[in-house]
């Protein structure tokens, strides 16, 4: 009954708002591009800019007839037109108050052949929209030679911890690639994002409250990474070569290409990333008696050397059946062989730190991560007003094969060997995902745009763990760790979404319903019996966005949004396997995890699209967090449900231009996290406030030289069972444009080597624990990028409506 009331409330609210607001439909701005000979210029690039600050609003490519058109809100604009072989054109101020057809733009032939088309309006690093924040990685020079994971570390509100876990404004998120969920977590997601280079990323969309079109998964929302896909006709592309030197050398290289001719568009992204790094990890545990006095100490150091070869490929083709219909197919693949060697020294001592014994372990892991995917998509555009239908069929396959070797030797304080044992493990895992979805957009005459869609997905995971002990040359199965776990999940969803723009008010509201059917089967072994579980639940997820312009020039805007989210347990987290990290540290899954439900509220103010402040509040029930339990001195890490998890945040994002040659961007936030739950040691009730800021200073020095300083600082964070230490870093970069197509960049990351992970683990039974982790974060990067290709004129153009990228893209 409560869910029905929520739906009725939203419907009534939108109806009331519609009646009291002054309706203002979108207006049409159109024209034609011709040459001095009065012949139409097919493929001319038309840019619509804001009249006040020349920020890019929309783009279009002229049709074979030279025609172009935009649908935009009333306001002041400027027009910029460019084409290879012609002089660029820029209009005066255009005041749009009704549908307008402009006089033809006449481009004059250039006296010399142009080597390339220059985009007049440069994307800012951060753009704010009603339902998302858009990041342009290329605006930050220090992103050169980076992976997708490293790019995310520099996005406003995003934190990547020492384990590769990603959070947005203090909450876990779901990662999408080109509007499609990755279905990965933990080490697998980290490997995937490290295989994707920054040069292949077009934009990153941060959505704490995603629209109803997106899956409801992710209590902190969605981060959508859009990869590059050039639509300019002809053969175009770029090559990016990067060499990185830290303590160890690594490299990150990529090739992007696009060929479009008549009805065919072929595109691809190939990359190779040589990983080579380390972690220097200290974990200290001090055991206590009932009075709190220390009885013994456990001091452990692990020096971990990681090497990997990441190969990534994405190939696709679009076939333009007509001006309105497009068929596409995309293939993706990742091949990532990796190896890890770890030297672990564990020292035991008594209450007064007198040595008791030492265990030295030489551990090794060798494995392969593979991913293959296929997508078939179709889109039909009924008209130029946004009336369209699209459909996608997807198949994804992930395969990991991890072989482990743990070789432990025990010594007395005088160095006498007292024992040796060897544990080997073979852990193959398969994930198969099948997905189908359809979306339909229908604009109404009264200015309301309706969207609706259906989606169904099926996932099958198969995980095997075979462990063997070798003692005195004899190998025997370790049934305490050996197991076989199968998990199946089917999610069926439907959504409806409505948007409308008034003169000063914009409204968007949606409702998504999702049904989840899942079952898990732990096959067990000769010592452990079979066990299984089944779940079936249906939930509603409403979203509402309001944006109000306080003045007619849109200098001040208020935004309010609300969304409900679900975080289903990751497949790996449901797996009950007991997986050793070393002899005294184990990771185990939790098949009894419940899904997390979160309510998110945000109120923000934007001034001149340059300064945004946001108040946000979220409350989660059964939030899934890492938990640590110590039993008989053994350290067990497992995911667990935290009963109530509340986050309150004040954040800001600002851009300043003190001079034409100087830009200053800064973002930051102050957050309070409060966790309350039943726990291993009784009641867990922790609360803490932290702050974080990230400045970026850009200097344009002339002669195509640009320098940049950026960095960030994070104070101590208290979250559930953990207190994370403060950390920060400073990066510097310089860029030189060697030619119209070639750019050289030099980047130094973490100059002062201050990006170190430290922390304390609380609520342990008669134990104090802390850690420190150093990585290969101080690096120098030399990057060379080269763009190639030329434009072909006289070819037919599909994207003639000039709609925004979300509307005119072919889904992939």
- pLDDT of residue 432 exceeding 70, the answer is yes
Measured CA to CA, the distance from residue 46 to residue 120 in angstroms comes to 10
Q: Give the pLDDT band (50/70/90) at residue 75.
A: confident
Structure-token pair, residue 504: 């000063």
CA distances from 633 to 291, 630, 636, 721, 767 (A): 18, 6, 10, 18, 9
**Rounded alpha-carbon distances, angstroms, from residue 508 to 8, 177, 455, 562, 727:** 15, 24, 21, 11, 39
Q: Is 306 helix (H, G, I), strand (E, B) or coil?
A: strand
Here the tokens at position 161 are 């911890």
Q: Are strands 474-477 and 483-501 parallel, antiparallel or unpaired?
A: unpaired
Count CB neighbours of 592 within 10 A.
11
Report whether 606 contacts 636 (CB < 8 A). no
79-134 residue pLDDT tens = 888 886 788 888 888 888 888 888 899 988 765 444 444 444 455 667 777 777 88
- Give the residue-averaged pLDDT of 420-440: 93
Q: Which residues of 162-176 are buried (b: 16+ CB within 10 A; e: fewer)?
A: bebebbbbbbbbbbb
- Residue 209 DSSP one-character state: S
Lowest mean pLDDT among 108-117, 352-361, 706-715: 108-117
Among the ranges given (57-66, 188-197, 296-305, 731-740), the one the predictor scored with the smallest mean pLDDT: 188-197
Q: Look at phi and psi of residue 169 and say left if phi exceeds 0, alpha if psi is from -120 to 50, else beta.
A: left
Asked if residues 785 and 242 have their Cβ atoms less than 8 Å apart, the reply is no
Q: Name the least confident of 215-229, 263-277, 765-779.
A: 215-229
Q: Give the rounded percent of residues in the chain with a pLDDT score beyond 90.
A: 45
The confidence score (pLDDT) of residue 14 equals: 39
- Residue with the bigger pLDDT between 716 and 163: it is 716
Tell me how far apart the alpha carbons of residues 732 and 330 are, in angstroms, rounded to a whole number: 37
DSSP string computed for 618-667: EEEEEEEEEEEEEETTEEEEEEEEEEEEEEEEEEEEEEEEEETTEEEEEE
Q: How far apart are the first and last CA of the chain?
A: 39
Query: Average pLDDT, whole number, for the chain?
Result: 84
pLDDT class for 25, splitting at 50, 70, 90? low
How much of the chain is in helix, strand and coil states, percent to nearest 5? 5, 65, 30
The per-residue pLDDT for 718 is 95
- Tokens 């990359």 belong to which residue? 271
Strands (E), 388-482: 388-411, 417-443, 449-471, 474-477
Pick from 132, 158, 277: which is nearest to 806 by CA? 132
**615-625 mean pLDDT:** 93
Q: Which of 469, 448, 570, 577 is nearest to 522 (CA)?
A: 577
Tell me how many helices (H) and strands (E) the chain has.
5, 47
The two three-digit tokens of residue 680, written as one number: 């291993």
**Contacts of residue 682, Cβ cutoff 8 Å, sequence gap at least 6:** none
CB contact set of 607 (below 8 Å; sequence gap of 6+): 555, 556
Is residue 54 very low, low, confident or very high in pLDDT (cuts 50, 70, 90)?
A: confident
The answer for residues whose C-beta is within 8 angstroms of residue 574's C-beta and 6 or more apart is: 485, 487, 520, 589, 590, 591, 593
For residue 547, give every residue at least 6 positions away whose Cβ sits within 8 Å of its Cβ, in sequence order, or none: 130, 505, 506, 507, 557, 558, 559
H/E segment holding residue 290: none
DSSP code for 21:
S
DSSP character at residue 193: H
- Would you say 50 and 77 are in contact if contact means Cβ atoms under 8 Å apart? yes
- Residue-level pLDDT at 732: 93
Residue 277 scores a pLDDT above 90: yes
Q: CA dihedral defined by 607, 612, 615, 616, rounded to 10 degrees?
A: 130
With vertex at residue 394, the alpha carbon angle to CA 393 and CA 400, rounded to the nearest 5 degrees, is 170
Strand-pairing partners, residue 670, are 650, 691
Rounded distance, CA 233 to CA 793, Å? 7
Residue 672 confidence (pLDDT) above 70: yes
* 193 CB-near residues (< 8 Å, 6+ apart): 147, 148, 149, 152, 164, 175
Decide: 356 and 343 in contact? Cβ < 8 Å. Answer: no
Q: Is the pLDDT of residue 27 over 60?
A: yes
pTM above 0.95, yes or no: no
Q: How confident is the model at residue 212 (pLDDT cuts 50, 70, 90)?
A: confident
What pLDDT, on the 0 to 100 scale, is given for residue 1? Answer: 43
More confident residue, 87 or 333: 333
Question: What are the E-state strand segments in 321-416?
Answer: 325-350, 355-381, 388-411
**257's tokens:** 């290409």
C-beta separation of 28 from 802 below 8 A = no
């Amino acid at each position: 009954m409560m869910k029905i009331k929520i739906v009725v409330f939203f419907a009534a609210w939108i109806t009331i708002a519609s009646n009291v607001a002054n309706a203002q439909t979108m207006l049409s701005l159109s024209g034609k591009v011709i040459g001095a000979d009065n012949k139409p210029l097919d493929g001319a690039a038309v840019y619509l800019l804001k009249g006040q600050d020349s920020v890019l609003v929309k783009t279009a490519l002229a049709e074979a007839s030279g025609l172009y058109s935009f649908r935009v809100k009333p306001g002041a604009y400027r027009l910029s037109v460019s084409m290879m072989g012609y002089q660029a054109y820029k209009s005066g101020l255009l005041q749009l108050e009704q549908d307008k057809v402009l006089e033809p733009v006449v481009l004059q032939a250039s006296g010399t052949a142009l080597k390339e088309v220059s985009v007049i309006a440069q994307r800012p690093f951060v753009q704010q929209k009603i339902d998302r924040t858009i990041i342009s990685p290329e605006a930050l020079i220090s992103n050169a030679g980076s992976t997708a994971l490293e790019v995310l570390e520099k996005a406003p509100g995003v934190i990547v911890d020492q384990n590769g876990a990603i959070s947005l404004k203090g909450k876990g998120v779901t990662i999408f690639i080109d509007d499609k969920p990755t279905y990965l977590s933990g080490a697998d997601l980290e490997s995937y994002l490290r295989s994707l280079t920054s040069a292949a990323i077009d934009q990153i969309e941060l959505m704490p409250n995603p629209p109803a079109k997106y899956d409801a998964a992710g209590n902190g929302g969605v981060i959508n990474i859009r990869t590059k896909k050039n639509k300019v006709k002809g053969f175009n592309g770029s090559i990016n070569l990067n060499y990185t030197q830290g303590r160890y050398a690594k490299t990150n290289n990529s090739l992007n290409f696009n060929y479009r001719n008549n009805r065919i568009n072929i595109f691809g992204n190939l990359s190779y990333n040589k990983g080579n790094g380390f972690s220097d990890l200290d974990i200290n545990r001090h055991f206590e008696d009932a009075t709190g006095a220390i009885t013994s100490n456990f001091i452990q150091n692990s020096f971990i050397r990681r090497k990997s070869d990441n190969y990534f490929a994405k190939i696709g083709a679009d076939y333009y059946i007509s001006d309105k219909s497009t068929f596409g197919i995309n293939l993706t693949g990742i091949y990532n062989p990796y190896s890890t060697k770890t030297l672990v020294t564990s020292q035991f001592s008594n209450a007064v730190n007198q040595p008791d014994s030492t265990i030295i372990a030489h551990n090794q892991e060798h494995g392969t991560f593979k991913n293959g995917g296929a997508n078939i998509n179709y889109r039909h555009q009924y008209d130029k007003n946004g009336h369209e239908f699209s459909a996608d069929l997807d198949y994804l396959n992930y395969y990991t094969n991890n072989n482990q070797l743990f070789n432990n030797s025990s010594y007395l304080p005088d160095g006498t060997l007292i024992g040796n044992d060897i544990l080997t493990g073979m852990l193959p895992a398969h994930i198969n995902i099948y997905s189908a979805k359809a979306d339909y957009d229908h604009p109404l005459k009264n200015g309301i745009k309706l969207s609706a869609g259906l989606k169904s997905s099926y996932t099958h995971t198969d995980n095997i763990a075979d462990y063997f002990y070798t003692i005195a040359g004899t190998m025997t199965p370790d049934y305490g760790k050996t197991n076989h776990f199968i998990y199946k999940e089917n999610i069926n969803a439907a959504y409806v979404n409505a948007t409308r723009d008034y003169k000063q008010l914009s409204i968007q509201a949606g409702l998504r319903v999702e049904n989840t059917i899942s079952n898990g089967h732990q096959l067990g072994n000769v010592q452990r019996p079979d066990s299984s579980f089944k779940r079936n639940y249906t939930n509603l997820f409403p979203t509402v966005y309001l944006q109000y312009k306080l003045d007619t020039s849109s200098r001040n805007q208020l935004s309010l949004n609300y969304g409900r989210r679900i975080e289903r347990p990751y497949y790996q987290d449901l797996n009950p396997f007991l997986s050793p990290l070393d002899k005294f540290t184990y990771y185990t899954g939790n098949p009894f995890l419940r899904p997390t439900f979160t309510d998110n509220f945000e109120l923000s103010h934007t001034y001149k699209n340059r300064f945004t402040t946001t108040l946000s509040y979220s409350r989660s029930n059964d939030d899934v967090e890492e938990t640590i339990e110590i039993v008989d001195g053994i350290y067990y890490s497992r995911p667990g449900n935290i009963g109530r998890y509340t986050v309150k945040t004040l954040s800001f994002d600002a851009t300043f231009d003190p001079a034409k040659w100087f830009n200053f961007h800064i973002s930051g936030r102050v957050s309070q996290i409060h966790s309350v739950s039943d726990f291993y040691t009784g009641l867990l009730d922790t609360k803490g406030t932290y702050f974080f800021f990230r400045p970026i200073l850009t200097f344009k020095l002339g002669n195509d030289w640009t320098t940049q300083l950026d960095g960030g600082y994070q104070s101590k964070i208290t979250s559930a069972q953990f207190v994370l230490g403060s950390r920060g870093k400073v990066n510097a970069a310089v860029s030189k444009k060697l030619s119209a197509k070639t750019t050289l960049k030099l980047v130094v990351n973490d100059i002062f080597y201050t990006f170190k992970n430290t922390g304390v683990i609380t609520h342990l039974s008669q134990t104090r624990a802390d850690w420190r982790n150093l990585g290969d974060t101080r690096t120098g990067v030399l990057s060379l990028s080269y763009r190639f290709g030329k434009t072909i004129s006289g070819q037919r153009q599909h994207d003639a409506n000039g709609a925004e990228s979300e509307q005119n893209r072919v889904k992939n």
